[in-house]
Structure 1
């Protein structure tokens, strides 16, 4: 959740900082709460739910005042004391409306029936559960094993030539580990793919 800088809604004759406090109940520990605090602007993680953000003003002399709504925050104006009584802070509601992303086995090897040239893969053989949208793109490819081996050898030779030419040393590569992380788009059809 992004908490913007709201200094312009307050006035003080000295320089001051606007901080925030949010109490978050921990679902794994009933009765335990954590207080998140800091200065604005800030980006904080809040789980799904409704939260009250309290603002804290601290001036250069360390005078502190806990404000729940600034004087002119969204047109509240002179009704601040009434709103402070009715609304004990700025309410933030966090909704997670995005469904989880399914996860499939990264490598699945299948043997084709020589008579029918068919193979069956059950859904539960590919299912590795789900995660909550950690990745914005899912790459899926199918490649023949001999073409994967061929292109892997070509790429290995290319990298060896480049490192020898530009760095003066032939760096041995242990499988795909090095360049999968460095350039996944170049080799996304290789070992990452499901081989048939």
Structure 2
């Protein structure tokens, strides 16, 4: 009887292990040398628009108001950020932070930029424990109303760029 039980348990163990091995997923490297970026823990959570602040350049920027104060909710996880828009302009939906690690030729750089835009990648830069800058363009860094810096200070998340400064809170 013990021999039958041992044989049964061994065959069951082999059956389960083969099943687990056949369902395993291989991790794939990101295209164009992109490296998945982990956001600082202080920034993570769901943040709701609280108030609009002013920057020194807001009045002189010439930026139409439809491109200022774009988001009503920002949700930040370990590797992604989700934007809920207040206005027509701005990023919408879920984006993943990927950092560029390779130097690319001009031809490959443009192909990588198109790939990153299609797959909703954001380029993180200049980060710290309570701060993160990001650009909507993956390889070309230039100012736009969609790019900016996120900072946590005194219980507020501050989204700031050249054109606007917005304050967000965790609870409504």
- TM-score norm. by structure 2 comes to 0.23
TM-score under structure 1 normalisation?
0.21
Instruction: Please say which structure displays the higher CA radius of gyration.
Output: 1
Which structure has more strand as a fraction of its residues? Answer: 2
Q: Relative contact order (alpha carbons < 8 A, sep ≥ 6): 1 or 2 greater? A: 2
